[in-house]
Amino acid sequence: MTQKVAVLGTGKIGEALLSGMIRAGWAPEDLLVTARRPERAEELRARHGVTPVGNTEAAKTADTLILTVKPQDMGALLDELAPHIPADRLVISGAAGIPTAFLEERLAKGTPVVRVMTNTPALVDEAMSVISPGTHATQEHLATAEDIFGAVGKTLRVPEGQQDACTALSGSGPAYFFYLVEAMTDAGILLGLPRDKAHDLIVQSAIGAAVMLRDSGEHPVKLRENVTSPAGTTINAIRELENHGVRAALIAALEAARDRSRELASGTKD
C-alpha cells in the first residue's frame, strides 16, 4: 500500500525537502502539505502538485508526519495534532533544539519519534541530515527517515545528545560559508576587482576547495599547506587570520550556536 507522507509547516526547509522527495521519485499525490496561510498552501500546490490539507487531516491520514515549523511553534502545533495522530504513526521533527522527549510527552503514549537536523543545501540534493531516534523509534523508523532525507543528500545517525552540536556545525554550517564568501567578495572589491568578478572567483575557489575536501582523502591541513608557499602570499594572509583570532572566533561562534540550540529545547524561547 502507498505510504502517505505529510510535511507540516511547509516553509523553507519543508519545501526544500518536499521538492527533493519529488525529484527522487515520490509521487506528488502521496505528499500532503500544511501551511498557516492559504496563499502559501496554494503556492505549494502550484509549484509541486502536492495536496494542501489542514493539520488535523494530515494527522489523521499520513503514515509519516514531518514537522518543520520553528521551534517556538512546535508546542502549539503538537497540541493541535496530538488528539488525531494514531500512536503507530511515525512523527519526525526537523526543528532545532527540540528534544524527542518534548514530542513524546505531547503525543499518544508509544508514538515513534525521530529527530532530524538537515540544512538548506537540501535544495540542491547536497544536504547533511543527522538523525536520532526517540524512545519508541525502531530501526525501521530510522530507515524511513533515512529514506526521506536521503532524497536530498547525506544522512548520518547520531545519539540525540550530539544533536545540538550537529545543529551548530551542519544545520547552521552553510550560513558560515555564505558569510565567508560575502566577506571575501568585499575584500576583492577593496583590492579593485568588480563585484561580479570577485564573486565568481571566490565561488569557484569555494567549489574547488569543497570538492578537494570531499574527494582527495587529504587532511585539510595538508591541503592548506599545499597552497602555502615559503615566503609567499598565502602565509601573509594566514598570519592576518591568526592575528585577528579567526580560528578562536569560529570555535566561539559554533559554541554559541550549540548553546542556542540547547536553549530552544523548551520550545518557548523567542
Ligand X SMILES: NC(=O)C1=CN([C@@H]2O[C@H](COP(=O)(O)OP(=O)(O)OC[C@H]3O[C@@H](n4cnc5c(N)ncnc54)[C@H](OP(=O)(O)O)[C@@H]3O)[C@@H](O)[C@H]2O)C=CC1
Ligand Y SMILES: O=C(O)[C@@H]1CCC=N1
Q: Interface with ligand X by CB under 6 A: which residues?
A: 8-9, 11-14, 34-37, 40, 55, 68-71, 73, 76-77, 94-96, 117-120, 171
167 makes contact with ligand Y (CB under 6 A): yes
Q: From the CB of 231, what's the least distance to ligand X, in Å?
A: 42
**Candidate segments 83-91, 137-145, 165-173, 242-250, binder of ligand Y by CB under 6 A:** 165-173
Dist. CA 255–CA 167, nearest whole Å: 11
Cα dihedral value 219, 167, 31, 45, nearest 10: -100
Dist. CA 206–CA 252, nearest whole Å: 23
Q: Which does 173 bind (CB under 5 to 8 A by kind): ligand Y, ligand X, none?
A: none
Residues from 133 through 162 that contact ligand Y (CB under 6 A): none
Residue from 7, 8, 31, 96 in contact with ligand Y (CB under 6 A): 96
Dist. CA 255–CA 267, nearest whole Å: 20
By C-beta, is 21 or 96 nearer to ligand Y?
A: 96
Q: From the CB of 29, what's the least distance to ligand Y, in Å?
A: 30
**Candidate segments 21-29, 164-172, 238-246, 247-255, binder of ligand Y by CB under 6 A:** 164-172
Q: Which residue is nearest to ligand Y (CB)?
A: 171
Residue from 9, 20, 150, 171 in contact with ligand Y (CB under 6 A): 171
Helix, coil or strand: residue 44:
helix
Give the other-Cβ count within 10 Å of 28's Cβ. 14
Give the other-Cβ count within 10 Å of 138's Cβ. 12
Write the DSSP string, 86-113: -TTSEEEE--SS--HHHHHHHSPTT--E
Q: From the CB of 230, what's the least distance to ligand Y, in Å?
A: 40
- At 190, which helix (H) or strand (E)? helix 173-190
Q: Which residues bind ligand Y (CB under 6 A)?
A: 96, 167, 171-172
